Amino acid sequence: MDLGVPDHWGAIQSATLPLSHSVSGVTETNAIAKLYQNNYNIKPGTTPNKSTWLNAFYDPVAGLSTYSSCVLTCNLSGDGDWRLVVADQDRKLKVWKGAQKMSEHSLLDTPVAIASYIAEASPTRVVSLAVAAGSHIYTYRNLRPYYKFVIPQESVNDEEQTLWEQLMTGSVPLGEALAGLSHLQGAGASLTTRSLQLLNIGDPEAKTSFVEYWQGQPLSAPTTVTCLAVLKHAIDEPQAVSCLVAGTESGRVLIMNPAGTAIVRNVWIGVTPTCLSVVGEFEVSYRICVAGRDGKLYHLVNGDLSPTVTQLEAHPIGVVASLKAVVAGCMNETLCSYSYAAVKQWALKMPAAIVAVQRMEAPAARAPRAVVVALANGDIRVYSENVLLSSHSIQGITTALYFGRFGREDHTLITVTRTGALDIKILPRSANLEHASGGGGGASAPPPEQNIPLAVPKKTRLYVEQTQREKEHAMEMHRTFQKDLARFRLAAARAYAKVLTDGQGAAASTAAAPTQVMPYSASISINLSVKGLGPMFALEISCRNDGEKQLVNVPVLLLYDTALYDVLPPTCATLNNDEMAKIPPVGVGKSWVIPFLVPGVQYTFEVSVRCLDPGVPSDVITVMLLQPKAASAAAAAAVAAAAVAKANGSTSSDFQYLIQNQGSKYGLVGYDVGEAVNPTYAAPYGNITWTDIRTVGAAEGCVGPRTSEPFGQDPTFTRGTSLFNQDYNDVYNAAMLSTYNCTATYGTNATYNVPLSTEIQFVSRAFSGTTLDSSLNSSIASAAYLASAKTTKTIGTYDNHSVTNMMPYCAEMFSPYLVPYAFHSKALPGESEIGFPVWIDVNLDLADALQWVSYLEDGLFLDRETDRLTARVILYNGELHFFILVEVTFTAAAPGHVTVSHRLDVVKVELYQDMLPRDKLRLVLEIVVSVQIIFLFLQNLYGVYRAWRVYGSPLRFFRSFFSWFETVSNALLMSGFVIWYGTIVPRASRADIQVRYDIYATLQPAVNYLNLANNGAGLVDMAAAFEAFRSIAYFMSLYYVLCGLSLLFLIVRVLQLLQFQPRLGVVVRPLWHASADILHFLVIFAAMFSGFAFASYVMFGSDIESFSTLTSALNNCFKILLGQKQYNQELSMLTGTLKYVSGRVFFWLYVWILQFVLLSYLTAVLVGSFRVIKARTTETIQIPQEVVQLLKIRWRELWGYLLNPDYVSDKRLGAMLGEWAADLKHQEMVHKDQEKRELLALIRRPLSSMDE
pLDDT at 662: 32
Give me the residues of the chain with pLDDT under 50, please: 1-50, 436-444, 503-521, 571-588, 630-704, 758-800, 1250, 1252
139: Cβ contacts below 8 Å, ≥ 6 apart: 119, 128, 129, 130, 131, 145, 146, 147, 148, 149, 260
Whether the CB-CB separation of 402 and 358 falls below 8 Å is answered with: yes
Q: Of the candidates 554, 718, 711, which has an alpha carbon nearest to the alpha carbon of residue 641?
A: 554
Task: Record the pTM.
Answer: 0.42
What residues form DSSP beta bridges with 403? 413
Q: What is the per-residue pLDDT for 364?
A: 65
Residue 35 CA to residue 33 CA, distance in Å, equals: 5
Q: How far apart are CA 676 and CA 668, in angstroms?
A: 13
d(CA 843, CA 996): 8
Kind of pairing between the strands at 754-755 and 803-804:
antiparallel
Sheet hosting strand 354-362, strand order edge to edge: 354-362, 367-375, 379-384, 387-393
* Cα–Cα dist 760/767, whole Å: 11
Amino acid identity of 279? Answer: V
Give the 3-state secondary structure of 615-677: CCCCCEEEEEEECCCCCCHHHHHHHCEEEEEEEECCCCCHHHHHHHHHHHCCCCCCCCCCCCE
The number of angstroms, rounded, from the C-alpha of 171 to the middle of its chain's C-alpha atoms is 43
Q: What is the pLDDT of residue 818?
A: 77
Query: Is the bond preceding residue 837 a cis peptide, omega within 30 degrees?
Result: no
Residue pair 610/535 in contact (Cβ under 8 Å)? The answer is yes
Rg (CA), the chain: 44
> What pLDDT score does 729 carry?
65
CA distance 238 to 588: 61
Helix axes 193-200, 158-169, angle to 10 degrees: 60
Distances (CA, A) of 401 to 73, 318, 407, 1049: 12, 11, 17, 61
Task: Provide the Cα torsion 825, 826, 829, 832; round to 10°.
Answer: 20
Contact 717, 820 (CB under 8 A): yes
Is-contact 413 388, C-beta < 8 A? no
Distance CA 636, CA 503 (A): 11
In the chain, the N- to C-terminal Cα span, in Å, equals 134
Q: For residue 718, what are the CA distances in angstroms to 725, 737, 744, 1006, 1011? A: 8, 17, 25, 13, 18
- Widest CA span in the chain: 188
Residue 163 pLDDT: 87
What's residue 1237's pLDDT?
Answer: 74
pLDDT at 642: 27
Q: Is 1201 helix (H, G, I), strand (E, B) or coil?
A: helix
pLDDT for 895 equals 55
Task: Please report the domains of the chain, with CATH numbers, ordered by start residue.
Answer: 158-213 (no CATH), 524-652 (2.60.40.10), 732-818 (no CATH), 924-1062 (no CATH), 1067-1176 (1.10.287)
As a whole number of angstroms, the distance between CA 19 and CA 36 comes to 17
Do residues 132 and 225 make contact, with C-beta atoms less than 8 angstroms apart?
A: yes
Residue 1023, pLDDT score: 85
DSSP 42: P
Reduce the DSSP state of residue 335 to 3 states and report it: strand
Task: Kindly give, in sequence order, each residue whose CB lies less than 8 Å from that of residue 1116, ignoring residues fewer than 6 positions away.
Answer: 1096, 1106, 1107, 1127
